[in-house]
A and B are shown apart, each in its own frame.
Chain A
């Protein structure tokens, strides 16, 4: 019967061509970006004629870029730690806690994911001014960590819902303390959800602009450093760093699929 659902009517060459067109649309800008990072004559013009590594040499000597990369890594690592800790607690609270306003809390946590980044960023800026905090890298970390609790809670709550309750029940019935049960049963069972959420939060934080834009001080994160340079005009150096970001994303994707397939085989 399988063949009939893929009958001739479905197998239209027109549809296949259209799908190829959509793929081209999705990938063309990315390919152009990478190709022109090796173009001696810079960005633009056609066809790209002379290849060079000069832009990469220039990029590797550019300390402002690498400072901003370090800043971004610090902010992202901090955001992962903060949002996973609070997100785990929030997911546990939603899963097994009893408190008034639980439905409201669930919606509230998700708001930064739903609302435009500018609204969350500006609200946090107002809070910072109200509380007397200076705009800084630390404030950006705090903003990312708080906004991304939404992602951590969603992922970890889904993980908890899939978990086998009987293991925890058995542990508690056999006299383990809740604390011990948490460390020996709950946390190991959530391992994959924690890694997935961590990777996602890390990527989102590394790429975040809208919230960071309003919270950052004089030290830039990588996206804001690039942003600042774009306002001044485009250079192939930015193609170079974009290509490197692309390569780093690819590594993360491969790591992620590797982890996922390994856990599925277990």
Chain B
């Protein structure tokens, strides 16, 4: 029913734009990962030396492991905070449900930087938490280990991603037919087995979506480590950033970026398949 001209007019501009300004830049990143740099000049000689460097230098593995550890901790903590909250709202909150739901959503609109900054003022050695601890005479001297540590990065990212994790879990809990829960109870299942055998399995797709979200977003973060992480909280994206900055080795930085990209896409492909398998519709 739509004419050929109409179809061309709607398709050609976005395809061209996306190809030129999105696909081409990503392709350029890919190309750089096979090039090399010498004396501040990039040479277009195609080889795998950047990838070889990454495999053979233990520093990169160490940072990669730490990054995966931080992202994993953020994921687990966000789920541990987000799931019970979603469960409470979905099954327990009664008439206040809508209001509480909005209260979880509001922080999503609050700037990432503002929330990161807030943690910096709380955790710093002259910060609010140290002031509070000294006020209560729990400590006499400021505890300086709070800020500039992997712990601070985990805390900040968990704070940011808990509402993100909450959303899909809540949506999946809301979709569970209440008749199933009632049937389980009427047939004599304990609340515990109702949860583990009915509710939890049915909410797995939402849980998986939320967890993936938190993991993937934490994995590529370079701002939280700069803001609250300090040297011991350096993550893989910080290496990329420094290679593109002072170190001026774009090809090596591009190679790490491509590895992050492939890792991210692999995780997403895997969880998409699992989500499909676990969904009950």
Interface residues of A (CB under 8 A from B): 1-2, 4-7, 9-12, 15-16, 18-19, 22-23, 25-30, 32-33, 36, 43-47, 86-87, 89-90, 92-93, 96-99, 105, 108-109, 111-112, 114-120, 122-127, 130, 142, 146-147, 149, 169, 172, 178, 203, 206-207, 209-210, 214, 223, 226-227, 230, 234, 238-239, 242, 245-246, 249-250, 252-253, 257
B222 to A, closest residue via Cβ: A118
Task: Confirm or deny: B7 has a beta carbon within 8 angstroms of a beta carbon on chain A.
Answer: yes
Q: Given A45-B128, A45-B131, A93-B14, A19 and B84 touching (CB < 8 A)?
A: yes
Flag if B121 contacts A96 (CB, 8 Å): no
Tell me if B134 and A46 are in contact (CB < 8 A).
yes
Q: Interface digits, B4-41 against A, CB 8 Å rule (1 contact, 0 not)?
A: 01110011011101100111111011001000000000
| Count of chain B residues with a beta carbon within 8 Å of a chain A beta carbon | 90
The chain A residue sitting closest to B192, CB to CB, is A9
A-B contacts besides A127-B21, A147-B22, 9 pairs, CB < 8 Å:
A4-B182, A10-B191, A25-B162, A33-B114, A43-B121, A89-B10, A230-B120, A234-B124, A249-B106
Residues of chain B within 8 A (CB-CB) of A239 are 121
Q: Are B84 and A22 in contact (CB under 8 A)?
A: yes
Using known A-B contacts A108-B18, A119-B220, A242-B111, determine if residue A44 contacts B124 with beta carbons closer than 8 Å.
yes
CA–CA, A111 and B24, complex, Å: 13
Contact B135 A22 (CB under 8 A): no
Which B residues are within 8 Å of any A CB, using their own CB?
1-3, 5-7, 10-11, 13-15, 17-18, 21-26, 28-29, 32, 81-82, 84-85, 87-89, 91-92, 94, 102-104, 106-107, 109-115, 117-122, 124, 126-128, 130-132, 134-135, 159, 162-163, 178, 181-182, 185-186, 190-191, 216-217, 219-223, 227, 237, 240-241, 244, 250, 253-254, 257, 260-261, 264-265, 268
| Cα–Cα distance between A250 and B11 once the two chains are bound (Å) | 37
A243 CB to closest chain B CB, in angstroms?
A: 9
Contact of B18 among A11, A47, A92, A149 (CB under 8 A): A149
Complex contacts, B10 vs chain A, CB 8 Å? 89, 92-93, 96-97
Tell me the bound Cα distance from A116 to B110 in angstroms: 19
Min C-beta distance of B266 to chain A, whole Å? 12
Q: Provide 21 A-B residue pairs closer than 8 Å at the C-beta atoms, listed in order of the A residue.
A: A1-B182, A5-B178, A5-B182, A16-B92, A25-B81, A27-B107, A29-B115, A33-B118, A36-B121, A86-B17, A89-B10, A89-B11, A97-B10, A108-B22, A109-B14, A118-B237, A119-B220, A142-B21, A146-B22, A242-B117, A250-B106
